[in-house]
Structure 1
Amino acid sequence: RLVDGVRAQTFELCSSATLLAELLDVLSRGKFAARLLQAGLTPQGIVGELCRLAYMAAPQTVPRVVENDADDDHVLACALAGQADLIVSGDRHLLSLGGRYQGIPIVTPAQAVQQIA
């Protein structure tokens, strides 16, 4: 539903080259790739569409915030660089930051759908 909102220009998706590269890596892993193949999708196709739909932020610095997963710091850097109104993630490390990062709410995808709908 969130991607449908981006397609309909209800709201804007902000990402970065680093985040999309990580997504491609994750979606290319066995369990995800098999599910995508069954649905007639490819990791490259999904990431390509997101690249076309998203505002591509270019963070100049990546703060060291998330102790247990430095990759999550890129999400925070992207949100700051893109002046995001909301960080949407199911990642437990990001969600454990207390629901906000520098004033930007951090919510699950389900919470985002409720807020945006």
Structure 2
Amino acid sequence: MRIVVDTNVVVSGLLFGGAPLKVLRAASLGIVDLFTSNALVAEFSEVIERPHLDRKFSEANTTRRRLVSDYQAIVTVVNVAPLAERVSRDFDDDEVLACALAADCEFIVTGDKDLLVLSEYRGIRILNPTDFLAEIEL
């Protein structure tokens, strides 16, 4: 099963745990195949630099560089062409949709309401982490 996990879920899973972490563990165990784009890796790297996350890194006894490295170890980066038309209410979210199309994914896992409201895009189901885990029975 091929999936794209939105940046908000990656950050939440790696720093806070819960259902987002279970999704990432499914990828690390090979239960699902996780795909991303260079733009989404860059976004992830940028988001985890935010100062309000400093305490979480101290608590987790890890570094930002290590977190990026751990994430890159479980994902496959695909080349992404921009969408021909704007789809999401938030233009930046179109990168997630384009990545899922480029990787021929079945699911996008996100906590972003601008994506969740779509529920599906060109046959790709869009679910939050809890609903995705229920869908794959984890």
- 2:127 equivalent to 1:107: yes
TM-score, structure 2 normalization? 0.77
**Structure 1, gaps ≥5 residues long:** none
Sequence identity percentage: 31
How many Å apart are 1:33 and its aligned residue? 3.2
Superposed CA deviations along residues 8-29 of structure 1, whole A, max 9, x for unmatched, are 1111101111001101111111
Given the alignment, which residue of 71, 79, 88 partners 1:58?
79
Cα deviation, residue 32, structure 1: 2.3
Corresponding pairs, count: 115
Which structure shows the bigger proportion of residues in strand conformation?
2
* TM-score with structure 1 setting the length: 0.89
Aligned counterparts of 1:88 and 1:33: Cα–Cα separation in 2: 25
Asked if 1:45 corresponds to 2:66, the answer is yes
Write the letter of the residue equivalent to 1:41: T
Q: CA deviation at 1:34?
A: 2.2
> 3-state DSSP class of the match of 2:33?
coil
- Give the Å deviation of 1:5: 1.1
- Deviation of residue 109 (structure 1)? 1.0
* RMSD, aligned CA: 1.4
- The one-letter amino acid of 1:6's match is A
Quick one: higher RCO (CA 8 Å, sep 6+), 1 or 2?
2
The CA distance in 2 between the partners of 1:9 and 1:81, in whole Å, is 20
